[in-house]
Structures are given as C-alpha cells and as structure tokens.
Amino acid sequence: MGQTGKIKLDHFEDGRIARITLDAPPMNLTTVAILDDLLETVIQVSEDERVRVVVITAAGDRVFCGGSDLKEFPAIRDRFVEVKLRKENAIFSRLENMDKPVIAAINAMALGGGCEMSLACDFIVMDERAKIGQPEINIGTFPGSGATFRLVRRVGMGRAMEMLCLGIAVEPEKALEIGLINRIAPAGKVWDSAYELARELASKPRFALKCIKELCRNAYTQTPAEAIEQSLALSEIILKTPDSIEGTKAFLEKRPPVFQDTVQLK
C-alpha cells in the first residue's frame, strides 16, 4: 500500500476481515511517510462495504509499534503539530469512529504512538510476552495523539496518571486486570487469537455492531437524556431491519439465526 511499502493490507473471509500490518521492523516506527500510507489504508478499509472487522498488527517480534521516529524530530520540530500530530490524530480518530469493530493485535512492545494506536481500537489482543505503555515523559514530553483521554477512559484516572507520569509499560496480566486490554494470546499466537475474535464479530449483524459502537463511544460525551434519545432513535430503525426480524424469528423457532452477509462459524 502507498509509496513506502511499509503498510500491508490483506483480506480474509471473502473480504469481510481486513488486516493492516505495519511492516517496518524491528521497531515499526511511524515516520511521516508511513503515516501518509497508514491514513490512506485506514480510509480505504473504512469505506469498503465488504469489510466487517479490521485488525491492526505488525511485522516482526520485537516491537508492535515504537511510535515516532525520533530521528525526524530535528527536521520537523518547529512544525511537528501540523506535520505529524494532526495526521496521527486523524488516523486514530478514523479508527475510533469507524462504523465497524477494530482490533489491535499487539504481537510485541506497544510504546508511545503504538500504545495510542491501540487505544483508538475497540478491542486489544496482546501477546503474553508483550508490554504496553506511554514513555513520552522520559524524553520530556507527553503523548499528543489521544492517550491523555483514551487511556483515562479505559483504565480510570489513577491508573492512567501512573502510566503517563511515570512512563511505565505494563505486562499483559496487569493490562488485563486494569481493563486496558481484552485478551492475552499465547506466545506467537496473537494473530490467531485476534482472527478468532474477528470471526466472532464478523458473524454478528452489521447494523447492530455499528449501533453498539456508536452508542458506547458517545457515552463519554452525551448526557443521559441525549444517550437515551439516540438509543431510542436507533432502536426505531434496527427493529425493522432484516437481521433483527431474522434474529427474533430464529429465537422463537429455537434455531441459530442466519444474518445477512456474515461469517458463518463452524
């Protein structure tokens, strides 16, 4: 994909599952050029109606994503926000607001922008040997692409402040305990675990997943009254969809539902 060749896009299950791979090992750093390609790819999968679930992972076994390439800093420091951070935030916001589930499959260390990229995803699956954290404080700065609010939402103020202010990286068991990640994968099996989760999600009705994601994301900014009204408005629509009608019928007939254009689990 793109000009750098450092972003790979693959499709599985007849195009229903898209895998985006950062392919710049060993550190998988996000240079400005790589971010251009990543944005292009994220837009492509978000607009692809075939795609039901997106998985983001990385090549190599050392670092999932080490964040920014510090070697670029001297050249772009005076325009870092415009050249780098706005682009990075646009990508992560695209991931967060995509109307389909997004899974981060963390195969190794996820630091800085790598952690922030994962926080923008709906689900995080992590290799049992990996770590995740925001070390920016240790180079005299702070995470500028979402960790200061997405990490708080995931783990609470106290845990987030500890990770951000001390620059520590946590191991999978701790990350699972505090609600930072969803699943721990056996060593070397993070793609298998993420793919299993992706297939489960792709077997669910598309519009229901879209509604759940939208309502859950909006829960951080809406008043209870606004949340109720949006939920009612979407309920008015979803109850008339073929998948909702099929789901109710299947339940009454005591059989598995057959939703439209989903992955069929065996």
Pairwise CA distance, residues 91 & 21, whole Å: 15
Q: What is the dihedral of CA 96, 103, 114, 9, to 10 degrees?
A: -100
- Whether 219 and 211 have beta carbons less than 8 Å apart is answered as no
Tell which wins on pLDDT, 69 or 232.
232
What is the structure's pLDDT at 2? 67
Q: What is the pLDDT of residue 70?
A: 81
pLDDT at 190: 98
The domain segmentation of the chain, as residue ranges, is: 7-202, 206-252
How far from 216 is each of 99, 213, 222, CA to CA, in Å?
A: 12, 5, 10
Query: What average pLDDT does this structure show over 187-205?
Result: 98
pLDDT over threshold 60, residue 26 = yes
pLDDT for residue 71:
86
C-alpha 105/C-alpha 125 separation (Å) is: 5
**Which pLDDT belongs to residue 1?**
55
Return the biggest CA–CA distance within the chain: 66
Q: CB neighbours of 23 closer than 8 A, spacing ≥ 6?
A: 5, 6, 7, 8, 58, 59
**pTM (predicted TM-score):** 0.95
Is 3.90.226.10 the CATH classification of the domain at 7-202? yes
Q: What is the pLDDT of residues 169-189, one digit of tens each?
A: 999 999 999 999 999 999 999
Residue 27 pLDDT grade (very low, low, confident, very high; cuts 50, 70, 90): very high
Coil, helix or strand for 108?
coil
The residues annotated with a catalytic role in the active site are 116, 136
**Peptide bond before 26: cis, by omega within 30 degrees of 0?**
yes
Decide if pLDDT at 135 tops 70. Answer: yes
Residue 252's CB: how many other CB atoms inside 10 A?
8
